[in-house]
Amino acid sequence: MGEKISTREAYGRALAEYGGNPDIYVFDADLKKCTMTEYFAEKYPERFFNIGIAEANMVNIAAGFAACGGTALVHTFAIFAAGRAYDQVRNGVAYPGLNVKVVGSHAGLTVGEDGATHQALEDISLMRTIPGMTVVVPSDAHETRLAAKAILEMEGPCYFRTGRCPVECVTDSVEGYEFEIGKGVTLAPGDDVTLIACGLMVEEALKARKLLEKDGIQARVIDMHTIKPVDSEVIIAAARETGAIVTCEEHSVIGGLGSAVAEVLAKSDYPVPQEFVGVDDVFGHSGHAWDLLEKYGLSPEEIARRAKTAIVRKQKNKRNA
């Protein structure tokens, strides 16, 4: 594990690194120092546009660029990208199928002290329901860099979610790690239960795995960086082989990763017990980022507890069978 870097910082660096293609245009709504598009802006000022505090306008201006053949990336906080500009993203980007990437930073509870108005807990859900939308939630700096490169190379609309807080790098030391949109990555093996996580909850899931190991439980950990299209193959294999699933996300338990996994399980031949770790249909609050995760039940301890619940449910099902 190396230096702790936030996914927004890693994204900003990657955008500057891979932004050399003259067809790429970058837009921000007065948050370039927060979304970290300022690295791109310094390097390619002629292709950077600050639209001011007008997210709806920004999304449609970007759509105009994309309609002329550009690859347009819009940046603001996740709460405004997916919430305030929802109609513009749905009707102005996704419906005409334009090549606009919507990058929402400061997602989830770990916005911290700024509090509930700035904590996007519904964005994955909102973006996931839009037809044709790809939804990517990278877990750490290493993955973010590769994911940013991948979305720059793909055609069509995409929602890309980054976070404010520096996080450990957990994917760089994984042997044979490769990033591909729509392909979940198994970070650690295990046959008793599977923890499927996205964003910074991947790190928390890996910590939970260690806690479970102490109790003799082997938990598989899957980094599900793409929520849509979700990797049903890896989910079904996990259900078949481990018989119990816990989804972990820094998002509402409604409509996000947990729901995407449940949709796959319910339709599969292995509708195994699933526990949902996430924000339980409430708003967030001000506070230190990591304290908030703890308060709202997004901690390694809670993941471990839910993993045990899922295992008990699995065993009960077996007995009843």
Partner 1 sequence: MEARKSNELSCWAYKIRRTVLETIYTAKSGHIGGSMSIAEILAVLYFDRMKIEPQNPELKERDRLVLSKGHCSPALYAALALKGFFPMEHLKTFRDIDSDLSGHVEIHVPGVDMSAGSLGQGLSVALGMAMFAKTNHYDNRVFAILGDGEIQEGQVWEAAMAAGFYKADNLTAFVDNNNIQLDGYLDEVMSPYPIGEKFRAFGWNVIEVDGHDVVQIDSAVELAASIKGKPTVIVCKTVKGKGVSVFENQVKFHGGQPTALEWEIAFAEIDSKIAEMGA
The residues binding partner 1 (CB under 8 A) are: 25, 46-47, 49, 51-52, 54, 56-57, 59-70, 72, 87-88, 91-92, 95-97
Nearer to partner 1, 62 or 208 (CB): 62
Nearer to partner 1, 73 or 147 (CB): 73
HEC-encoded secondary structure of 267-283: HCCCCCCEEEEEECCCC
In the complex, minimum distance from the CB of residue 193 to partner 1, in angstroms, rounded to a whole number: 44
Q: Could you tell me the CA-to-CA distances from 45 to 19, 49, 61, 74 in Å, in that order?
A: 11, 8, 17, 15
Q: How far is the CB of 87 from partner 1 (least distance, A)?
A: 5
Out of 9, 55, 122, 249, the active site residue is 55
Length of the chain: 321
Please say which residue, 81 or 310, places its beta carbon nearer to partner 1. 81
Query: How is residue 200 written in tokens?
Result: 């910074």
Q: Is 55 known to be catalytic?
A: yes
62 vs 78, which CB is nearer to partner 1?
A: 62
Place of tokens 């837009």: 27
CB of 84 vs partner 1, minimal distance in Å: 11
Reference 89, options 115, 61, 114; nearest CA is: 61
Q: Which of 169, 101, 176 is nearest to 139 (CA)?
A: 169
Q: State the minimum distance, in angstroms, from the CB of residue 45 to partner 1.
A: 11
For residue 72, count CB atoms less than 10 angstroms from its CB and return exposed for 0-12, middle for 13-18, buried for 19 or more: buried
Residues designated as active site: 55
